[in-house]
Each structure stands twice: as C-alpha cells, then as structure tokens.
Amino acid sequence: MGSNANNRWIKEKRVLKKLQMHFTFQQDILRKIRHEAADASIVPSDIVRKIIGLPYVKVQRPRVGLSFNKDELAQLAQHYNLDMADEAAIKCQVIEEVNRFYKPKDDAP
C-alpha cells in the first residue's frame, strides 16, 4: 500500500508543477474556438493546444458542470417538487428539462 500512495503522490506532484495560463481572445475568435471544440467533442483549451502543436486528449465523456448555491438548489427542488436533499433526482430533472428544450429543435425538418 505504501508503494501505491507514493506513486499517487508523484503523479499529484507533477500536476502541481503545471503552469496555468489564461488567454483573452477577440469574441469572434473565441466563438470559433468554442464551436470547433464542440464539433470535435473536445474542450476549447484542447483546440488551442491542437493549433499550437501540443498534445491533447479527446474527452471520453463530454459533460456540463454546474454549481448551485443553497438558494438555487432550493429553487430547483421547489420547481421540480422534490426534496432539496435529493440531489440525484434534481439532477435527473435538469437533464430531462434540457433534453426537452432541445429535442423539438433537433426533430424539426
């Protein structure tokens, strides 16, 4: 078990040594980056990595992350008539609502 913990620490240490840089692009360029990323099923930062010749990994399971404060969670629970503590049920309802929002547009000729 000590060896696994040591290997894990080495990996975490490598991640901590990475330098994160933020870039500001013109809106039209940023929009193109986002669209190309969505079309390629990769994140926008990986489009930039691809453009500048750095390696990137295709997202295995694309998803959208949202953060809710307690008031927002209470609002969603009330909206869906659920208990605020039932986060899994709230998550399912959000997924269903977003799917319903886009389905008619996708099915239209």
Q: Along the 109 residues of the chain, how does pLDDT read in single tens digits?
A: 567 777 777 777 666 777 888 999 999 999 999 999 989 888 899 999 999 999 988 877 777 889 999 999 999 999 999 999 999 999 999 999 999 998 876 555 5
Q: Which pLDDT value is given to residue 52?
A: 94
Helix (H/G/I), strand (E/B), else coil: 86: coil
Q: Which pLDDT value is given to residue 107?
A: 58
Question: How far is it, in rounded angstroms, from Cα 59 to Cα 36?
Answer: 14
Q: Which pLDDT value is given to residue 108?
A: 54
21-49: buried (b, 16+ CB within 10 Å) or exposed (e) per residue? eeeeeeeeeeeebeeebeeeebbbebbee
Would you list the domain boundaries of the chain? 24-63, 70-107
